[in-house]
Amino acid sequence: MPIAQFAEDGLFEPRKIAAVLRTSSEEVAMTVGLGKDAVQRRARIRSDKTQRRLRELVEVLNKVQPRFGSDLMAYAWFRSEPLAGFDGRTAMTLVQDGKAQQVLDYIDALDAGVYA
């Protein structure tokens, strides 16, 4: 999942992310904890919060995609797989709560052979 394929004019573009994940921009927004305005209005797409959340989604998916073999399977994992050590919360709920770094650290720990 090359990051450049999600960008336009140096910004993450929700519709491009949605196209790869075979979903809608609105679902991408909901997945990262944003309202649909965040992906419909140009000024909101450019906001720091929207760009940060979209970047976090892409970072997590890029990190797990090789493990699952496809972008769609990585996205399904992101949305639905409870993570050990996080009270059954998913990567999606952690990112929505601003804890993307904890998800990335968790994946790194798994990759290093540390099990939660």
pTM, whole model, 2 decimals? 0.90
Task: Write down the residue that tokens 């990262």 correspond to.
Answer: 32
**pLDDT score for 19:** 95
Binned at pLDDT 50, 70 and 90, residue 100 comes out as very high
Distances (CA, A) of 25 to 20, 45, 67, 106: 11, 11, 25, 27
Task: Tell me the residue ranges of DSSP E strands in 3-91.
Answer: 7-8, 11-12
Q: Are 38 and 29 in contact (CB under 8 A)?
A: yes
List the alpha helices (DSSP H) in the chain. Answer: 14-21, 25-31, 37-40, 42-45, 48-68, 71-80, 91-96, 100-111
pLDDT in tens, 61-97: 999 999 999 999 999 999 999 999 999 999 999 999 9
